[in-house]
Chain A
Amino acid sequence: MDIVNQILLNEQKKAEKYKPITVDKHLDLEFDLGTLLAFDTNDVDSKLLKSNKDDYLHSLTRDNTQLLLNKIWELPTERIDEAIVVRLPQPTTVLPRAKPVPKPRPLTKWQEFAKAKGITKKKKDKLQWDEQLQKWVPLYGFRKAAAEKEKNWLIEVPQNVDPMTDMYEKKASEKSEKVAKNELQRLKNIARARKVKIPRVGLPVTSDKASATQLATAATVAKASTASLGKFQDKLPKEKEARGKGVHELIPGKERKRRAPIPTPQAERESNLNLLDSILNKRPKIDMEKAVAKHIHNEQVMRSEEKKNMKPSKGKRKGKGNATNFSAKKPKAGRGQRNPNKKTPGRKRR
């Protein structure tokens, strides 16, 4: 028994030697172990804070740190490179990002097409065996240009081409054209992704000669490119409007929105009934201004006709001017009665 008591006493002494790791708090702390965060919602003792600020903050922080570390020590531990680590849970505090969440990159026109058609990219070898040079030539990049130069030390001028053409120059221009086309497509893809409206290009710029259909398209597009969309443009005899795939989209004012398909039979019925109603219930519309103008005109015509009929019965007098009937007014011209055959004397001008 003595030994047991001894051991117990020793244990007690050992325990007294260490300070406690438990902390009493009125309200429990909120922890976010993922960010090593503890939030103490207990009231701060303002009296102690004023009288003995630093010591109070020290003890408060110590207690809270102890609580936080107690929680962390409960987490599952691992051993990585002779160090004991704990696996932290996901942080619960949500912090704002530095930059917005990236949107999925919009597909290029080709990618869209390839996706629709199920075309997948084939992996090509970086090096290809060249029979002529008898060596491996890269597909592009370093040493490709040199190989190309070595290969094309002489270029044959084909039969159908003017014998004086510089084939090297032609090749270079073709290459630069390809590069330009690629760049244009890249920019178009960017514009499409950003939903920027780009001016339409009427015709593809091709080499010296354009085909008849291209010319016809160009003429049609040009004719429709007025402010009134070519409504008042004259037509040549036997002129035909350009037709074909993609032409309609090029002509300004020809784009029309297709109506959405009618969703249900009820909706279709309703729309048809509405159309019928609108036709059956059509009442003549009265244009008030026009009607009034017409009425006034009729009255005027009637009056003038009455006047015409009245005049001959009264007609004793010959001539218009009356010397005896002197008035202060100056003699005037035809008084509104127009007769181009009759010569009006008018006012004497000096």
Chain B
Amino acid sequence: MAVIQRIKKPTTRKGKKVLLAKEPKPIEGPKQCLFLQGRNPSERTRKLLKDIYDLKKPDAAYLSRKNDFVPFEDASLIEKMCDKKDAALFGVGSHSKKRPHNIILGRTFNYNILDLIELGAENYKPMSEFHNMKVLAGLKPCLLFNGPAWDLNQDLKRLKSLFIDFFHREKIETIRLQGLEHALSFTATDEGVIYLRSYRILLKKSGQRTPRVELEEIGPSIDFKLRRTKLAADDLYKEACKIPKEAKTGVKKNISRDAFGSKLGRIHIGKQDIGKLQTRKMKGLKKTPEERKQMLLKKKAKKSVNQTQITSIN
């Protein structure tokens, strides 16, 4: 991993470190996210992106400067910024008469746009309007998808995957039970309206081991309307979803450990052909020349019989 396949060598040690950190790895960490402002972002889109940024915080960057670009027509700026910040997820906010309060969410693969989904924020209540205790930053939320539309509509299916990508944070092995504090609910209707709600989970006593769940809304609460989409082709998406060998968890067969912890392997050996086994050589057991001749003749006869059979079958 120490060598970078690149014509121009990094000049500084730090530069080399940066380049090495940017190289693709078999098992990736959490995806970084960028939030950009498009052309004329409205107050609502600005606040909304900020709220999503707050939810995503350690793995996100919020860029407040306006950018004069249209992601659906030319996404090169996004690709450039993602390359610069080493991000794979992005959100762009813009506002126009035709598409009021426009939020574009998307992701990249190898710094090229993979998915672009445009959502209109129809109703929005920011986090600051809910006057209560919020959850800790960096918590892994429970994701709840409601409604059959998530599975039936192709765009929504991809959007579901995108939302999971945005909010699932990171693959983890263990989780603290008291740390299950945040629930994000995505409800889709058949008309393409998506209700995003965010709750704090309160664990109450139930008289049993499993607690009773109560929820308290902490915001943001957004009603999205699905607008345009630009989804990756299936083959590209499939390539992006490739699982590296290192991450595959297959059960290794025929390996066991004994009580002392030493590794035992069971191997398979084919059946031994005893007929061909070389036993002790003796002069007396040698074949005479006549015997050998007869053997040859026998073989030949067998062959010719076989051939005649084959021809007759044909």
Chain A residues with CB under 8 Å of chain B are 14-15, 17-21, 34-44, 46, 49, 53-54, 57-58, 60-62, 64-66, 68-70, 72-73, 77-78, 80, 83-88, 90-91, 93-102, 105, 187, 190, 193-194
Contact = CB atoms under 8 A, between A and B. Distances in A.
A98 B108 contact: yes
B168 A65 contact: no
20 contacts: A21-B208, A36-B142, A37-B143, A42-B146, A43-B147, A44-B187, A49-B187, A54-B221, A65-B144, A69-B201, A77-B177, A83-B178, A84-B176, A84-B178, A93-B164, A97-B241, A100-B24, A100-B239, A101-B26, A187-B7
B212 A193 contact: no
B213 A62 contact: yes
Contacts of A19: 204, 206, 212
A70 B183 CA distance: 14
B309 interface: no
Q: Counting chain B CB atoms within 10 Å of each CB, which of A36, A70, A93, A94 scores highest?
A: A36
Q: Counting chain B CB atoms within 10 Å of each CB, which of A64, A70, A78, A80 scores highest?
A: A64
Given A39-B150, A77-B177, 16 more contacts: A21-B212, A36-B168, A36-B175, A40-B146, A41-B147, A44-B149, A60-B187, A66-B213, A69-B211, A83-B178, A86-B174, A88-B172, A95-B168, A98-B109, A100-B110, A102-B25
A72 B185 contact: no
B168 A105 contact: no
A85 B5 contact: no
Interface stretch (B39-47, B242-250, B252-260, B263-271): B242-250
A61 B199 contact: yes
B145 A38 contact: yes
B140 interface: yes
Given A19-B206, A36-B175, A43-B148, A96 B3 contact: no
A39 B145 contact: yes
B145 A40 contact: yes
A103 to B, nearest CB: 9
A85 B177 contact: yes
